[in-house]
Amino acid sequence: EINKGAKDGVLKGQTVIGPGGLIGLIDSTTPLTSRVRLLTDPGHQVGAWIDRTKQHGILTGMGTNRPKLIFLNKNTLAKIGDAVTTSPASTILPPNLTIGIVQFVNEKALPSPYAIVQLTASPEAIDWVQILKNNG
């Protein structure tokens, strides 16, 4: 929860970043506070991609500080150490925001391959956030 709300112009769905990159989206607001839905929240999904391979995926929160990036293609060509960012095609999030680094890749997973991503911004260790006004 953060101490800025609707009175400060915060809107549901806005992007929240911290030192190191994306941490989540505004989930709800009151006049004076806002609740952030973290990328790590179980079931929270955002579009992401690996620029090196030009591969899109869905970053899915697992309740740990390492969300899963589920790829949309069978041949991901992803490697440990690849940078994961928001998609340049995203309509929900600003493009090319840093999310994290690939820590593990499972090419053989069914129904689709996935990677485990170490976030570059640790939600539990930050003392400030910035709210981006999406598309403007």
pLDDT digit string (tens) for the chain, length 136 residues: 899 999 999 999 999 999 999 999 999 999 999 999 999 999 999 999 999 999 999 999 999 889 999 998 888 889 999 999 998 888 888 999 999 999 999 999 988 999 999 999 977 777 888 998 764 4
Residue 2 DSSP symbol:
B
How far apart (Å, rounded) are the C-alpha atoms in residues 64 and 10? 27
pTM of this prediction exceeds 0.85: yes
3-state helix, strand, coil in the chain (%, to 5): 5, 40, 55
At residue 129, φ and ψ (nearest 5 deg) are: -135, 165
How far apart (Å, rounded) are the C-alpha atoms in residues 84 and 132? 19
